[in-house]
Amino acid sequence: MVTVVTGLPGHTREVEALGKALKAACGAGGTVKDGVLELQGDHRPRVEAYLQSRGLRWKRSGG
């Protein structure tokens, strides 16, 4: 299972910093490639809560 986050705002360094913060918040490994964050495991609720706390909008997609 992998949680994929797309459409993150900002430049490459900002997206990488947000990805690092999300990985820490979820306690999971992952990577950021081409503006797409992939987290190991199902972390949708944590990712949504984190994004909402930062004032970012989100929308679930897929199954």
Alpha helices in 1-62 (DSSP H): 12-26, 44-53
Query: What confidence score (pLDDT) does residue 9 get?
Result: 86
Confidence band for 8, pLDDT divided at 50, 70 and 90: confident
| Residue 62, pLDDT above cutoff 80 | no
Q: Tens digits of per-residue pLDDT, 10-58?
A: 899 999 999 999 999 999 999 999 989 999 999 999 999 999 999 998 8
Query: What confidence score (pLDDT) does residue 63 get?
Result: 64
**Radius of gyration over every alpha carbon of the chain, rounded to an integer in angstroms:** 10
> What pTM does this model have?
0.84
